[in-house]
Structures are given as structure tokens and as C-alpha cells.
Chain A
């Protein structure tokens, strides 16, 4: 056995893009002393190769003939230069290495058979001043402790870099039982926490009684299965609990100004069923084809197809390992769509990040918390690499900044799919074989479901390293290609059911699919990444890129052939039964046997108390007019604010056009202004389209979560309406991210948000079709650490509700964007809506009239541009339209309504551009129903001129306006 290494590095420093990116990152984290970083790729090859073979591999396969040079050597040959300051980063044993797999394939294509390949990276760094700085660079920038080892050279340190293949630990396979029956309450709780089960005392006792009644102890695998299936992540027990709410009454959305302050008590038998789901059932719309029961919701697109939509969160993994966390979040959400019905084809992704401000001072960063810039870079790269590589356009998203997201950033990822309407139902039958397809199973991602159901702490990065994993989008793409071929097979769909292997791994996927019938699995048949996994690790591993199919016996051979033809794993691991039991065996021995009834219905429903009282309400002061001469300063300040500034740095890294159906993408107009929503044509042979948008108003959480939810629904609707979406054909999704709900006030906030979401959905006619919640979004730290950073010991996020919207568009040729159109001569800009910054001043019925009017005006071709007005006010919205269109606008402050001033925040509303000759159509449509105010005219030259109601005029030079908005989140 020979062992060789090949080191490949850029031939010229200016070709070292990776090194330059790393250098920029080091400097952005405060290592200003670094002058240069030279990066290199390292390949370790094991096999019977001669030196000439290695040379050939380097020349023909590993090194670019122009841009790179290489050196190679045997195991003992020294690498790099002893006098250099350097870091070598290697993957930890068991972490997936897709590049190594491709190298092996490439070598085989060249006729070189090798035993194993591993890859690593090397960085030679110039300018560091101390070992401490070297360690900082290694662990904060170059390597992630969860998945990588870093070997340092310099300042007296010279780590020995092992090249030989590391051996993953071999497990003892003896079946373990857990003695519950004689454990007291405290010991039960300790077991729950230390075993990473995160079950409540009630739940632990229910399990203990169940096994007492069976007269035996549970196996470790049974306990794990219950913990996964009963986790907050999988079963949403808080949202489904019985809740007694006490406190401020719910507003009356039809008459919000009618207010009563007498406290009330409201009981919800099941919060989710009584609010979110109830809205959908009340609306009872025939175009909702599948709601809540599947991995994604489905609405009708046309006579042949439906649109599936799912949005997920991946907060805790992304806090610890942003790149892997966000990437696997995308991967999981995409699999939810592939696993919807009998398989939807993913057509678009969305992403929303909530982070602490990007200028957060380093010295106020708690231990084991990544800086928001590092998180942003990581999650953007993760979403980018997964979506781009799978060939799914990332078309819509948002970013919100608030210091309370510091320890617990939020990462929402969404996916839309196209599904034939005849394939929306699925059902596994007894006798169907259980097939596991896609990637192999490893020790990665243990306890993801339970981990994400607990709060984060300073020690989580160490304790839950095993919950983090790296995605492999190409494996998922290969799997998708095969699944669609099996779905559209000439003999009909080859499988009867499909689901994602996500949180909880096989335990959740098989348990769920067989919940009505029963299933039996032989764990030794599961293909592994490496030997040595214990049976329960195989069962709960959340190794990525795997799905489970139920396949009638007659179709198994055909299905295996489809997957084999494209080198994708597919293995029979068991079968569905009719004994209503989940039976798990390993090498002939039963290691778990659970009644489906107990697994899926044994979880005791919780009863919880919620309360909410309004914060001391500040006196509502009438808006102050802006001072003459202050326009430029205020405008520039708002345009540069983190929540408003251009997200171009993020957006450009995503492919918006792959699949060829994009119509409106996130940057619009010649000047790359912001778009309110995206539009795409899911079928290339049709001009029918969908609009995708979102609403997110965490800043209102502190005022009243009820109105926060209403505002988020309204914003999501406004955004899709702005591009041409139809309010009467719009569906929405809810994603709640909340702090710990043990506190009745936090739970009260959740109740109010659910009620507000329900009321808005019903009033607007927007059905919820899918949703997900992530609770326990808090970061706990020690008192000293909290004091050092000037933070509370428990840093809870603001309650955050993301509403995502998808709307059907009859004809995309009618779509418009937010960019002002310079060619529409003498066109005018109107504000349409209601005035005022408070959501409780106008009824939802009156607000709906506005949305409908805008939709009709766009569908009739009256408008040339439309843009959502939010809390930044009318002037900022107009500035964004001018920047997008790269054209001048003369802004006029309306005189007649003092509320409607240019710089006041507005509770909803639109700015529209209308050609002069069509403005009478607009006036006619709005008259007597809503406010419409002329707020601007197109100007002959690129520029921004503001006339205040006192007659004073201020012109902002266009380049200053543009530069302010394009400054971005960081530079």
C-alpha cells in the first residue's frame, strides 16, 4: 500500500481567488495585520501507484494546466516550508468528502485504480504576529471544529499532520435496555437531558408507564425513536396543545377601533387547529389541493399541475456551522418538496435570514457565538451552493437585523415545486417494500430533531458537533433525476408513497409512512458510509440526501434498475406490514418493537397557560413634519440602514434564472433596484406564472404580536400584488420562530400571533397551506459572560413570524416591477392605501379593497410600476423606484393629509407609476374607496428632487442617492 500526497496551488497570486476571499474575511474579523494568504488544495491518495502515475494524475486531472502548479510526494516527504506560517485543514473522520469521490472516479476513468482519496486545504499566511492570532485565524476563519481538524505551523508550534486514513470508532452492537421503571422523577429528567432526548417530565412518565404495562424496559432504540417522533421539531406539541389564554382581548379585525380593555379568558382546544388551520377550513377554497397533511402544501396551478410550497427553518445548526446548517436546511426543504405527494419537481428556492447587525463589536461577542458577518457569509454560501448546484433558482428572500438574533440567528429556507395534479395522493400498502435511496448513512447528524427543540447555550457548539453536517447537492440532484424517472415511468409511477429522510432519520420517515399499517426494517441492509455504526445510530442518523419509498413488490426490480443506471444507491431495507407495529431488527435480533398507536398517538396533549397584556402604550404623537433642508440627510440615513440597504451582495451569488422560467428576479431595472416579489413561469410552454413573496415584521412584536402577524400577512400579499399577483388566488405559509414558550407571556405572544394570522387570512381570503414552527430560540450564557458582553443572561429572539406567499398570475406578460420606467413620459406616481402608521386604524376589509384595486390596475395594463411602502415611508419607496429605473423623480409632499407625509412610516400601501393618459383610470378605480395621493412626477433627468408641503425644494444628486442605497451590509 502506497500513500501519496499532491499539493496544487495557483501559479500566480492574482489567480488565488480563494486565498483572496479568506484574506478579506480575516480582515473583516479584525485581523488587519494579515498581508497575504496563499491557498492550496491537497489530495491524499492511497493505492498501488508508481510515481509516474501520481505525476500523470496531477498533470491530467488534479492541476489546471494554465492556472495551477503542483508538487507531490510520498507519505514521508515534507510538505510546505518549515519557515512558513501555515494552517492545514483536514476533514474529521466520517465527514463526507464528495471531492474525494470525484477524484476516485476521475482516476478510474484514466485507468488508475486506487483504494482511497482524501482532500484537504493548506493556507500559507503572511503578516500574523502571534500564535494567538494564528489560532484565531485557524478556528474563526479557516476551519470549523465541528467537521474539521486544523494543523498549525508557526510561532514555535508544528502540528503533526496525520495523512493515513483515520478509522471511525467501532461500536459495540450488544442490545442495550434502559431501566426506566425504577427511576424517580429527577433521574428521569436527567436521563432526558443527558441522553439528548429533551422530553418533558410528563412525557418521560408516559413512556415509563407504557413500558411498565408491557412488563419490560425499552431498548435505547425505542427510547430514541419516541424522542425523535415526539420532539417539538417533528410533532409541534406546543402549537397543538390546549391553551388557556388570559389577558388583553383580541382586536376585532372588522372594526379595529372598537377596543375593550377588560381582560378576557379564551380557551383553545388545539391552538394550531383553532387558528391557522381553521382559517383554511373556513375559506374552503377548491384550488387548495393539499393542505397541512403532506410535506408541503399544494395549490392548483392550471388544469394539469399543482404548485407545492414548503418553508423550513434551520436555526440551531446554522448558528453552529452556518455553511453546513444553511445548505442542509435547503437540502431538507427541497426533499420535502420532492417527497410531497408522489413527487414534485423543485422549481424555486427562497431564503430569509434574521441576524444581529453586521457591525456588532467583536469584544461584545459571547464565547462560542459566531460573528453575524461570519454567519451571513456562511449561510449565504450554503444556500448558494445547494440551490445553484441542484439547479434550482433562488428567487426571493429577505434579511432582517436585530441585536437579539446574536446568539440565535434565524435561517428560513423555502422551496416550491411543480406536481402533476394526478399525483398528489400517496399511500403505502402492507407488502410494499421499503426502499432507501440517495446517499449512504453515516454517523453525521445525530440528534438533530431533539437538538433543534432545545435552547442554545455556550456549550452547544461542543456538545452538538455531531448534529451538524455538510450537504452534498449533487447526490440530491442525482437522486431527484432518478425519482422523477421512476415517477414518470412508462409503466406508471413505480412507487406508492415517498417521503424525506429528514430530522429523526429512518425512525421518523419509516415510522410516519407506516403509521396506519406497520413496518419492519432490517438495519443491517442499510448502506453505510463506513463500518462500525451502532444499530441505533443507523436508525436515527440524519445523514443527508436520503429518501424512503414504498414500492409494490412487482416494481422493485424496475425501480432498482432506474437508480442503478445513474449510479444512485437504492436498497430494500424492509417492508410495510399490517400488524400496526414498528419492528426494527439488526442481524436477526429485534432491537425495537413499538405499537404505531403509542408512537403516534401516545404523546400526552399538554395544557398550558398563556397570558398577554399590552406594554405601556406610548402616547400616539402626531407625526412631525420634516424640517426643510433635512431631506437629504434623512433619506440617505434610511437608505443606508441595514434593514433597507441593497442586498445585491447576497442576491448576485444566487442563480435566479436556471430552469429558464424566471420573469421577475430580485434586482430590477437598469439600476438594480429592489423587487417586491419574484415571478416565474413553471412551464416553459406557457405564459401562466406564479409570484412569490414574503412578509416579516419582527419590529412589531414588541407592540402587539397580533398586529405583527396581520402586518406580515399584509406585507406578503402586497409584495406579490406589486408584480401582478392575484389576491383571490394567493396562498400563504406560516413559519413561527419563537423564544421558549414555558413563559406564559411568550406563549401569550404566540397565541396572539396565531389569532392575528387567522383573522388576516380569513379577511383577505388567503388560505394557509403549510407551516412550521421553531421554538426555544434563545441563547443562554453564564452571568460573567453576559456581563462582559453587556447582554442579558438569556438572550431571546424577538418573536418572529415569516409569512410566505405564492400567487397565480394568468399572464406573465402583464407583470410589472418596482423600477420606475423612464420611457413613460409625463407619468405620475401615486400613493394608494390608507394613511397612518398604526395597523389598528383601518379595517382589514378596507385594506383588502386596496390590494384588489392594485391587482386590477396591473391586470388591465394601467400601471407601469408598483412598489410596496413600508415603515420607511413614501420617500424611501420612491427613491428605490428611481434607483431601479435609473431615472429622475420629482417628489411632491401631499398637502391635504398631514398623516400622509413623505417620511412617516405607513401601515401598508403602494406607490404606483401611471402614464399621464391613464391616470383617470386610476382615479376612477380608487375614488371613494381609499386614499390616493399624487406624490411625484417623472423628471427629465436622472435625479431626485423633493418639494415639501411648505414649498421648499431639495435635490439629492443621483449618484449620492444610489451610493447610499448600494452601500450594502458590509464592505
Chain B
């Protein structure tokens, strides 16, 4: 058996889903460190100690300016080089909710370490209904090559956000995301079909709930997998499908 899988969960002012994210990783068998962004910015090489990085949900820096913007700005300006190296080394990155917003705004999604030419093409904007929404949703995995997800699998997680509406600048961009296999998850109904609100809970373009980078190893999604890892988490009792995400990641890192 390979050495223990070490996971870094990042904390910053306003990040607030860190404890349950750490717990989810631990349940999957990982050794987890929870570190404040200040400690990582002091010595960015710390990232090299870990096989996976998670940016949990919350309201980093109050979501001032825009959701995830200030933390994304810190990643870009203080950790940019180390993050590129991290991804290129075959490691995993997960951003949930605010973490997803951070990854998109830092350019790591959907472009990955190279960032590609996605700047100005996709973003995450205010929910169509103009307010925070807490709701359980069904999701279908779209990506064919990500260590995090099985193609076509259905999972059920809650969303809890005000700014979770995935927006692309054009239909060409949406088509390109599909062609390049960068759409990780879509909002669907219990039967697996896309639909209007509340199936698509925030008005996201093409029902997109999550993205991956071209390697499939960087995953970001608005819903919260760490909130469905216990049999009593899902109010309708459809099972703790969030566990699969973390279990698979640990298995992937053990094998690599």
C-alpha cells in the first residue's frame, strides 16, 4: 500500500466549511492539515507536502467585491507559480462553493495550470433570483475523464449560495466546454433530466454546476459534497453520495 494520502484544506478569513471538509477527507482515510492562507503565503513551498488541495466553502473576505475574488487574487499573486507546479505534478484540487468561485476567478478553472484562453469567457454571477438559496439538488456527472467522478453517475448535494450562477459569454464558449470535456456536473431532476428552476436552482447556463480543468484533476462545483456523507444527511434518504467523491480521490492518490 502506498504512503498515506496528505490533504491540505485551506482556511482564510470567512471560509466556514473547513471543519466538515476536513472530516469528509478523514472519513475517506486521508491525513488532513488545515492551514490559514497566511501560513501558505509565508512559505508557498508548503504545498509540495500534499497530494490534494481543497478550498472549502464560505465567504472568503466576506465575498467583498465579488464572491471569492479577494482570495483568488491572493492565489494569483502569491501562490501562482506553486499552484501551477502542484497541478502539473499530477495532484488534485477541489473547490466547493466559495472554493469553486475562487478557482474560476483565479483562472484555474476551466483552464487549469496553463489557464488557457478562458479569461473573460466564463464566470460565476449572482443567482437569477437575486438572493441566497439553500436547496438540495440532483447532479449528473458529465466529464468522462476525471478521477473525482464516474461518467453519468447521479449524486445529490445541497447548494447554499447567493452567487452560484454559471455564466458564459457566448454559446460558442458553452459548446467548447462540452467539446473539451470540461463540464463536470449538471443540475438535473430525479430522473436525470435538466429543467428550469428549481431543478436548475440559480439559472446557470447549460445547467452547469461544476467544471474540471483539461486534466480532470482540478474539480470545482457549487454544491456541497461534504454535506452528504452521513446516512441522515440527505433529508429524502437517498444515500450519502458525497462520500464517493472523497473516497475516489484518496484511491486515486494512493494509486499514483
Interchain nearest-CB distance for A887 vs B (Å): 13
Interchain nearest-CB distance for B76 vs A (Å): 8
B20 interface residue (CB < 8 Å to A): yes
Contact between chains at A61 and B62 (CB < 8 Å): no
Contact between chains at A65 and B123 (CB < 8 Å): yes
B189 interface residue (CB < 8 Å to A): no
B169 interface residue (CB < 8 Å to A): yes
Q: B residues within 8 A CB of A15?
A: 125-126, 167
Contact A653 B122, CB 8 Å, known A102-B61, A474-B59: no
The CA of A657 and the CA of B226, in the complex, are separated in Å by 10
Contact between chains at A105 and B14 (CB < 8 Å): no
The CA of A39 and the CA of B36, in the complex, are separated in Å by 35
Among the stretches B83-91, B128-136, B175-183, the one at the interface with A is B128-136
Q: A residues within 8 A CB of B62?
A: 98-99, 102, 389, 472-474
A103 interface residue (CB < 8 Å to B): yes
Q: A residues within 8 A CB of B168?
A: 66
Contact between chains at A64 and B227 (CB < 8 Å): no
Q: Identify A110's interface contact among B16, B63, B77, B126, CB under 8 A.
A: B77
Contact between chains at A21 and B130 (CB < 8 Å): yes
Contact between chains at B65 and A102 (CB < 8 Å): yes
A576 interface residue (CB < 8 Å to B): no
Contact A66 B169, CB 8 Å, known A102-B64, A103-B64: yes
Q: A residues within 8 A CB of B64?
A: 98-99, 101-103
Contact A477 B16, CB 8 Å, known A64-B125, A653-B131: yes
Contact between chains at A684 and B167 (CB < 8 Å): no
Q: A residues within 8 A CB of B235?
A: 664-665, 668-669, 817
A934 interface residue (CB < 8 Å to B): no
Closest residue of chain A to B61 (Cβ to Cβ) is A102
Contact between chains at A106 and B73 (CB < 8 Å): yes
Contact between chains at B70 and A102 (CB < 8 Å): yes
Contact between chains at A109 and B73 (CB < 8 Å): yes
The CA of A655 and the CA of B223, in the complex, are separated in Å by 12
Q: B residues within 8 A CB of A64?
A: 66, 123, 125
The CA of A872 and the CA of B223, in the complex, are separated in Å by 37
The CA of A66 and the CA of B69, in the complex, are separated in Å by 14
Contact between chains at B130 and A657 (CB < 8 Å): no
Q: Identify A67's interface contact among B19, B77, B125, CB under 8 A.
A: B125
Q: A residues within 8 A CB of B232?
A: 663, 681, 687, 812-813, 815
Contact between chains at A477 and B13 (CB < 8 Å): yes
The CA of A57 and the CA of B129, in the complex, are separated in Å by 29
Q: Identify A477's interface contact among B14, B129, B158, CB under 8 A.
A: B14
Interchain nearest-CB distance for B223 vs A (Å): 11
Contact between chains at A66 and B38 (CB < 8 Å): no
Contact between chains at B17 and A478 (CB < 8 Å): no
Contact between chains at A105 and B160 (CB < 8 Å): no
Contact between chains at A660 and B19 (CB < 8 Å): yes
Contact A21 B131, CB 8 Å, known A64-B125, A66-B123, A105-B70: yes
Contact between chains at A565 and B132 (CB < 8 Å): no
Contact between chains at B65 and A474 (CB < 8 Å): no
Contact between chains at B132 and A60 (CB < 8 Å): no
A567 interface residue (CB < 8 Å to B): yes
Residue from A472, A657, A812, A813 with most neighbouring chain B CB atoms (10 Å): A657
Q: Identify B133's interface contact among A652, A659, A684, CB under 8 A.
A: A652
Contact between chains at A109 and B69 (CB < 8 Å): no
Contact between chains at A17 and B127 (CB < 8 Å): yes
Q: A residues within 8 A CB of B74?
A: 109
Contact between chains at A391 and B16 (CB < 8 Å): yes
Q: A residues within 8 A CB of B20?
A: 658-661, 684
Contact between chains at B69 and A654 (CB < 8 Å): no
Closest residue of chain B to A654 (Cβ to Cβ) is B134
Interface residue count on the B side (C-beta < 8 Å)? 58
Contact A655 B134, CB 8 Å, known A17-B126, A565-B38, A660-B19: yes
The CA of A105 and the CA of B74, in the complex, are separated in Å by 9
The CA of A111 and the CA of B235, in the complex, are separated in Å by 48
A670 interface residue (CB < 8 Å to B): yes
Q: Identify B130's interface contact among A17, A109, A391, A812, CB under 8 A.
A: A17
Q: B residues within 8 A CB of A565?
A: 36, 38-39
Interchain nearest-CB distance for B46 vs A (Å): 15
The CA of A103 and the CA of B65, in the complex, are separated in Å by 7
A204 interface residue (CB < 8 Å to B): no
Contact between chains at B131 and A106 (CB < 8 Å): no
Contact between chains at B226 and A388 (CB < 8 Å): no
Contact between chains at A474 and B69 (CB < 8 Å): no
Q: Identify A653's interface contact among B58, B134, B231, CB under 8 A.
A: B134
B145 interface residue (CB < 8 Å to A): no
Q: A residues within 8 A CB of B160?
A: 388, 655-658
The CA of A665 and the CA of B227, in the complex, are separated in Å by 13
- The contact string, 1 if C-beta is below 8 Å from chain A, for chain B 1-34, is 0000000000101101101100110000000000
Residue from A110, A391, A481, A565 with most neighbouring chain B CB atoms (10 Å): A391
Q: A residues within 8 A CB of B236?
A: 669-670
Q: B residues within 8 A CB of A670?
A: 236
The CA of A793 and the CA of B36, in the complex, are separated in Å by 56
Residue from A62, A477, A670 with most neighbouring chain B CB atoms (10 Å): A477
- The contact string, 1 if C-beta is below 8 Å from chain B, for chain A 648-684, is 0001111111111111110011100000000001001
Q: B residues within 8 A CB of A685?
A: 23
A390 interface residue (CB < 8 Å to B): yes
Q: Give 20 pairs: A residue, B residue, CB < 8 Å, sorted on A.
A: A15-B167, A21-B130, A21-B131, A64-B66, A65-B119, A66-B121, A66-B169, A98-B62, A103-B64, A389-B59, A389-B63, A391-B17, A474-B13, A565-B36, A566-B13, A566-B38, A652-B134, A653-B132, A654-B134, A659-B17
Closest 8 CB pairs of A and B: A391-B16, A660-B20, A102-B64, A17-B130, A17-B126, A66-B123, A65-B120, A474-B62
